[in-house]
Amino acid sequence: MSTLEVSPLESSSGRPGEPVINDFSIQVATVNGSGSQTANSVLLRALFQMGIPVSGKNMFPSNIAGLPTWFTIRASKDGYIARRKEIDFLVAMNPETAREDVLKLDSGAAVVYDEPLGLKELRSDVHFYPVPFDKLVAPVCPDAKLRKLVRNMIYDGVVAWLLSIEMPEVRKALVKQFGKRKAKAAELNWGAAQAGFDWAARTLTKTDPYIAERMNATAGKVIIDGNSACALGAMFAGVTVVTWYPITPSSSLVESLMGYMKRFRHDPETGKATYAIVQAEDELASIGMALSAGWAGARAMTSTSGPGISLMSEFIGLGYYAELPAVIFDVERVGPSTGLPTRTAQGDLLKNAILSHGDTRHPMLFPSSPGECFSMTGEAFDLAEKFQTPVFVMTDLDLGMNNWMADPFPYPERPIERGKVLTAEDLNRLGGFARYEDVDGDGVGYRTLPGTNHPGAAYFTRGSGHNQKAQYTEREDDYVNNVDRLADKFETIRKHVPRPVVELNPKATIGLVAAGSSDYAVRESADQLRREYDTETSYLRLRAYPFTQELTDFIRRHEKVYVVDQNRDGQLVALMRLEFEAELIARLCSVRYYGGLPLDARTVTDEVVRQEGL
Amino acid sequence: MSTTVTPPPKKVNRIGLEVLNYKGSKTTLCAGCGHNSISERVVEAFYELGVEPWKVAKFSGIGCSSKSPAYFLGQSHGFNSVHGRMPSVATGAMLANRNLIGLGVTGDGDTASIGIGQFMHMVRRNVPLIYIIEDNGVYGLTKGQFSATADVGSTLKTGAANELPPFDCCALALKWGATFVARSFSGDKKQLQILLKAAIAHKGLAVIDVISPCVTFNDHDGSTKSYAYVKDHEEALHELDFVPFYEEISVEIPEGQVRDVELHDGSHLRIRKVGRDFDPTDRLAALSALEEAEAKGEVLTGVLYLNTSKPTFLELLNMVEEPLATLPESRVRPPAAALHEVMEELR
């Protein structure tokens, strides 16, 4: 076994020799398909179980096996869980990227690497820990075929020793990860983790400053990805028809929904399902089925990403014009076209707001956390049925597919709202109805469901011109009246969408505005601006489109408002420019990131500093 | 002494409804359009069977054919959707309410061109639906372009000839899973009415391809979808008779010449052999009969295939008996304990 010779180094963060506790990022560089996901999740969970705030970001390729993958874990005693650009602790397992990964590190970082890669010669200002993985894995894993997978657990053991991660927590995380049914696999992997830990304890001398120390900041919390949270939201919102077509990064939303529905949505006596989940032949069919199921009275949804939304565009225009309820999850990824299918962006905002030909407007909700993925999904179903229109739930790959700490979701208190649906009894009382008549002055007509036992229940739904009675028309006044009513309806929707979160700072002259997963980086950036540049900011986090009065007031209150976008063209700020008067538009500044990785605070801070001339 | 004039009793069907209850608004299609005849047969079939109109949901895509659901069953909900996507629209509504009687009407442009993908997947799923293709081989609303069912050599009014082979929607439906496949001619009132009644009684997907001449753009000498051509080349496979479930079967079936197929609701479809010996439960035989007819330029009409045992898409989904659409909150929102259980697992 090799002995380690490392020249004493000074840490870049903190004073020389002083430990850096619970404030570091670990990056594991592996090859896609090598089974590192389990090992990475176990590390993440072990830190979480030690009470340390963590986040995990998987940067994976669009490939089944063979291309490079990076998994980044950030531990932050201050609770910052946005991606951090700087890597403090690299686990270099991928020969293809190891050199570049090491050369990118800041001085003072630590590197655990597969010994044959010989990385030590690359530079002298980082801490190197070579590990003979092949030698270590052979004794603990007699089955050669499994060694490729099991060797990942060895780095868990080595990293645990180096960072002082408690091994009982590693074991607990491992058992949780494998579940009761895979106890044998759990034991095999536990053996490997222990071997790594024991070897490190015997062989290595720790020279880097990074230390994990038990704290109490995660008590009661759960770890969940946004897609699973949306799935739970849909199940507890009483979804009945789910149609979808597989696409990264949204597939796991419906896949986890299938798992939950199988457990909780079968009639206990008959075993029959109170739902239908259909994998359609494409996105055109999945949205067609969802909208029509909504038309027929189901709580219907579909889930997709940008390319799927592009295909759905025609149908969503029908949904708007014929007034059909459905919830559409758009787990955004990098476009245009196929783009970067496994990288994150918020690049569908402008498109979805006005999706389809002609004059259309669609509500969008912007959850920023798993908790909001859960609660806003419920709100989306209510909005869709109350306002008889397609509603988008906008998340992104970062929120949807990565694991997040979250408070347990509170059970929905309010009953489900199904909107204006007339029954046969209602029709007997009323004598009849006109489908698109604005009876209540809110732009929302009354509808009936097919199968309603009444001779006056039927109406004819169409995407062609229609009057109040849903009859075909090409008359100028009928058309104008109808689309004006739809505009009125959108104004009603504006009063009912989730309000933004506003944090006013009386000392601030500049404001920050963001939506969805940008929240974490923007909050951290506000702290950086205060700490490093003595600059105070207010913050408004948008939770929905159409925008509400709070945004207008916020812009009015600040000299400059920085709108943070995860796309090249500033789509969120563009939507504001479409609505606001010139005086307000003049205050809007744009901060954009579009490299495909989860947004980090430094990118936001640097851009605000540049534009402010700080 | 006064005399009161008693009006003659109105003619009603077995559930007390007049034929008026089954009619729709006035057609806006051309006079003589085959589609109008089909609409009339739909009215008759539903009236005579005594189907409650409110149980029916009508679906269509875009085109002349897709306008026609407005012209029948005015007391049924209708959904005129987007071009070629009616199968998904019908599927979605049937998922939401499995008790509906789904009736889809499309054209050859809708089904065989822009919507062939959705058509094939609907066939594959055996969605319970009556699916009528009003097939005239031409785009009418855009003024006379070829569709994908136009025969090789058939010409447009301009004289332009079609050189590409047609899709035979019946052959496609047969091969990939429809459980009721028929072809008819809009001018053959009796046959079409019986086929519609049998389709209503059938539980799975019933595809009826109805040759329906376009009097404006495709009823000339070079067309193989003209009234004259079909009248000359139609070869009925059999004579059909339909005995509804509410009528007692009294007539004895003559041996050999007649097949009596019981449909899902207890109705009977009687298939009387005319020309060739034809077994409508033999899919392969149906396919080869279509091939032979095509080679001879004949239009084979009647029931090509019938399968009363294959489960429908809705049956495969193992859903509750009631419509999903109207399940109460107590059945679709799991209790707080369920959420608690999931949250505990994620700690």
Q: What Cα–Cα distance (Å) separates residue A287 from each residue in A300, A341, B12, B316?
A: 10, 21, 41, 21
Distance CA A581, CA A72 (A): 43
Confidence of residue B250 (pLDDT cuts 50, 70, 90): low
Q: Is residue A413 one of the residues assigned to a domain?
A: no
B323: chain A residues, CB-CB within 8 Å? 297, 451
| CATH number of domain containing A338 | 3.40.50.970
In tens, the pLDDT along B104-132 reads 999 999 999 999 999 999 999 999 999 99
- On whether both A428 and A398 belong to a single domain, the answer is no
In tens, the pLDDT along B258-315 reads 788 899 999 999 888 766 778 889 999 999 999 998 888 889 999 999 999 999 999 9
- On whether both A457 and A508 belong to a single domain, the answer is no
A461: chain B residues, CB-CB within 8 Å? 77-80
User: Is A454's CB within 8 Å of B54's CB?
Assistant: yes
- On whether both A339 and A482 belong to a single domain, the answer is no
* Tokens found for residue A456: 């006056």
Of the three residues A477, A496, A515, the one that is the final residue of a domain is: A496
Q: What is the pLDDT of residue B1?
A: 52
CA-based nearest distance A63→chain B, Å: 28
- On whether both A167 and A191 belong to a single domain, the answer is yes
User: Measured between CB atoms, does B165 come within 8 Å of chain A?
Assistant: no
User: Measured between CB atoms, does A405 come within 8 Å of chain B?
Assistant: no
User: Measured between CB atoms, does B37 come within 8 Å of chain A?
Assistant: no
User: Is B97's CB within 8 Å of A278's CB?
Assistant: no
CA-based nearest distance B115→chain A, Å: 10
Q: Is residue B202 one of the residues assigned to a domain?
A: yes
User: Is A281's CB within 8 Å of B326's CB?
Assistant: no
- On whether both A491 and A507 belong to a single domain, the answer is no
Q: Is residue A201 one of the residues assigned to a domain?
A: yes
Of A270, A288, A457, the CB nearest to B85: A288
Residue ranges in chain B assigned as alpha helix (H): 34-49, 64-67, 86-96, 108, 116-125, 169-176, 189-201, 227-233, 283-296, 313-316, 329-332, 336-346
User: Measured between CB atoms, does B116 come within 8 Å of chain A?
Assistant: no
Chain A contacts in chain B segment 283-322 (CB below 8 A)? 317-321
Closest residue on chain A to B120 (Cα): A281
Q: Is residue A219 one of the residues assigned to a domain?
A: no
Chain B contacts in chain A segment 65-94 (CB below 8 A)? none
Distance CA A182, CA A163 (A): 28
- On whether both A228 and A201 belong to a single domain, the answer is no
User: Measured between CB atoms, does B331 come within 8 Å of chain A?
Assistant: yes
Q: Is residue A7 one of the residues assigned to a domain?
A: no
Q: Is residue B10 one of the residues assigned to a domain?
A: no
User: Measured between CB atoms, does A586 come within 8 Å of chain B?
Assistant: no
B326: chain A residues, CB-CB within 8 Å? 297, 449
Distance CA A251, CA A236 (A): 19
A408: chain B residues, CB-CB within 8 Å? 340, 343, 346-347
Report whether the peptide linkage leading into residue A546 is cis, meaning its omega lies within 30 degrees of zero: yes
Query: Average pLDDT for residues B318-345, to the nearest whole number?
Result: 97
CA-based nearest distance B77→chain A, Å: 4
Burial environment of residue A497 by CB neighbours within 10 A (0 to 12, 13 to 18, 19 or more): buried
- On whether both A62 and A160 belong to a single domain, the answer is yes
Q: Is residue A412 one of the residues assigned to a domain?
A: no
User: Is A451's CB within 8 Å of B117's CB?
Assistant: no
- On whether both A458 and A540 belong to a single domain, the answer is no
User: Measured between CB atoms, does B327 come within 8 Å of chain A?
Assistant: yes
CA-based nearest distance A200→chain B, Å: 29
User: Is B92's CB within 8 Å of A300's CB?
Assistant: yes
Q: Is residue A517 one of the residues assigned to a domain?
A: yes
User: Measured between CB atoms, does A460 come within 8 Å of chain B?
Assistant: yes
Closest residue on chain A to B313 (Cα): A278
Q: What is the pLDDT of residue B156?
A: 84
What does chain B come to in residues?
347
Q: Is residue B4 one of the residues assigned to a domain?
A: no
Chain B contacts in chain A segment 226-265 (CB below 8 A)? 232, 235-241, 243, 260, 263-265
Chain A contacts in chain B segment 63-92 (CB below 8 A)? 69-70, 74-82, 85, 87-92
By residue range, what is the domain housing residue B136? 19-325
Q: How many domains does chain A contain in total?
A: 4
User: Closest Cα to residue A586, out of A555, A554, A565?
Assistant: A555
Interface size A-B, in CB pairs within 8 Å, comes to: 219
Closest residue on chain A to B21 (Cα): A455
By residue range, what is the domain housing residue A429? 421-496
- On whether both A540 and A553 belong to a single domain, the answer is yes
User: Is B79's CB within 8 Å of A292's CB?
Assistant: yes
Q: Is residue B330 one of the residues assigned to a domain?
A: no
Query: Average pLDDT for residues B76-94, to the nearest whole number?
Result: 98
CA-based nearest distance A97→chain B, Å: 33
Confidence of residue B57 (pLDDT cuts 50, 70, 90): very high
- On whether both A62 and A116 belong to a single domain, the answer is yes
Q: Which of A44, A48, A265, A292 to mutate to probe the B interface, most B CBs <10 Å?
A: A292
Q: Is residue B296 one of the residues assigned to a domain?
A: yes
For residues A460 and B6, the model is more confident at A460
Of the three residues A184, A211, A238, the one that is the final residue of a domain is: A211
| A111 contact partners, CB below 8 Å, separation of at least 6 | A89, A90, A91, A92, A102, A105, A119, A126, A127, A128, A129
% residues pLDDT > 90 (chain B):
71
Residues of chain A below pLDDT 70: 1-16
Q: Is residue B154 one of the residues assigned to a domain?
A: yes
User: Is B326's CB within 8 Å of A449's CB?
Assistant: yes
User: Is A236's CB within 8 Å of B334's CB?
Assistant: yes
Q: Is residue B240 one of the residues assigned to a domain?
A: yes
* Tokens found for residue B64: 């002349």
Q: Is residue A461 one of the residues assigned to a domain?
A: yes
- On whether both A26 and A130 belong to a single domain, the answer is yes
User: Measured between CB atoms, does A293 come within 8 Å of chain B?
Assistant: yes
Q: Are B122 and B91 in contact (CB under 8 A)?
A: yes
Distance CA A271, CA A233 (A): 22
Q: What is the pLDDT of residue A12?
A: 45
Q: Are A110 and A90 in contact (CB under 8 A)?
A: yes
Of the three residues A185, A211, A237, the one that is the final residue of a domain is: A211
CA-based nearest distance A422→chain B, Å: 12
Closest residue on chain A to B52 (Cα): A453
User: Is A281's CB within 8 Å of B121's CB?
Assistant: yes
Q: How many domains does chain B contain in total?
A: 1
Question: Strands A560-565 and A68-76: what pairing?
Answer: unpaired
Q: What is the pLDDT of residue B251?
A: 61
Q: Is residue B285 one of the residues assigned to a domain?
A: yes
For B36, other C-beta atoms within 10 Å of its C-beta total 18
Report whether the peptide linkage leading into residue A249 is cis, meaning its omega lies within 30 degrees of zero: yes
ipTM score of complex: 0.95
- On whether both A281 and A365 belong to a single domain, the answer is yes
Q: Is residue A15 one of the residues assigned to a domain?
A: no
In tens, the pLDDT along A224-283 reads 999 999 999 999 999 999 999 999 999 999 999 999 999 999 999 999 999 999 999 999
| CATH number of domain containing B249 | 3.40.50.970
B70: chain A residues, CB-CB within 8 Å? 460, 472
User: Positive or negative CA dihedral for A564, A570, A571, A576?
Assistant: positive
- Collapsed DSSP state (helix, strand, coil) of residue A70: strand
User: Is A296's CB within 8 Å of B57's CB?
Assistant: yes
In tens, the pLDDT along B144-203 reads 898 899 988 888 888 889 999 999 999 999 999 899 999 999 999 999 999 999 999 999
Q: Are A137 and A192 in contact (CB under 8 A)?
A: yes
The yes-or-no verdict on residue B51 having pLDDT over 80 is yes
- Collapsed DSSP state (helix, strand, coil) of residue B303: strand
The yes-or-no verdict on residue B253 having pLDDT over 90 is no
